[in-house]
Structure 1
Amino acid sequence: MLDKFVDDLKESAGTMARLTSLAVAAAVCLFITTGFLCAAAFIFVLERHGAMYACLAGAAVFFVCAALAAICYEMRKRAIKRKPVEAAKSSLQTALSDPIVVAAALQAVRVVGIKRLVPLLAIGGIALGLMAKRSSAKE
């Protein structure tokens, strides 16, 4: 049970890291593309209508980009809210109620020692409390 939980955690973390790196690369490319398109639009409008209209056209392009980014952010935020959190909670509860996990924890206490384990458990408890507080705030 614990092995499956750890494997799922590793797999989801690896997938998240790959997706994040791809998103960062796409964002950088989009930013560079937008910069060149704005420069081209600025020069085109500058030659035809003057400096003031060129600056307004550049501002309009960046406004449209900002509006599209805000719309994408809201859509992503709503999609995350729709996903059920109950499945993750139930798998954690199942893992903690498994007697094999309890036996492994007792064995870890024997090997590490109680004096060394108390500070680690305190830090883990604080981290767990902060995570629980953050997940309940999102709901």
Structure 2
Amino acid sequence: MFQRMIDGISASTGTTLRLTSLAAAAALALFITTAFLCAAVFILVLQNYGPVQACLAGAGMFFLLTLAAAGSYIAYKRETEKRARQAAERAARSAAQSVLTDPMLIATGLQIVRAIGVKRLLPILAIGGVALGIMASRAGAQTPEEDVSPEPAE
């Protein structure tokens, strides 16, 4: 039994290592290809327009590449935050549902109702419900503020 588990882990580790090596080799080949393409474009612009224009063209290409990478990173980060918020909301809803369906909580509530009495408990519950509604509406209306670093003191 343990031997099969160890063999499975060994096989998956070997496969992962091979795939990682292939990905690294592909990344290195892509880097070298990109370097030669950039050099070819640089030489072409250098021969036709001069060194300053060639350097500016190269800087412009890499600036556009940087903008594209930054845009995709920001989009990915927003999507990840959105998924995390949705997961937290689902967890909060399920936690609230599990608390309300707890038999011990229901039994304790019934004992409190019997001890205090329904006529005395109704105004307390009404005030508590209104307070809970106000708190829930305020929590839903608030938006997280962005971190703004203060300006350095002079």
Please indicate, yes or no, whether the TM-score normalized by the shorter chain is above 0.5.
no
TM-score of the two chains, using structure 1 as the length reference: 0.44
- Higher RCO by CA contacts (8 Å cutoff, separation 6 or greater): 1
Which has a greater percent of helix? 1
Radius of gyration: which is bigger? 2
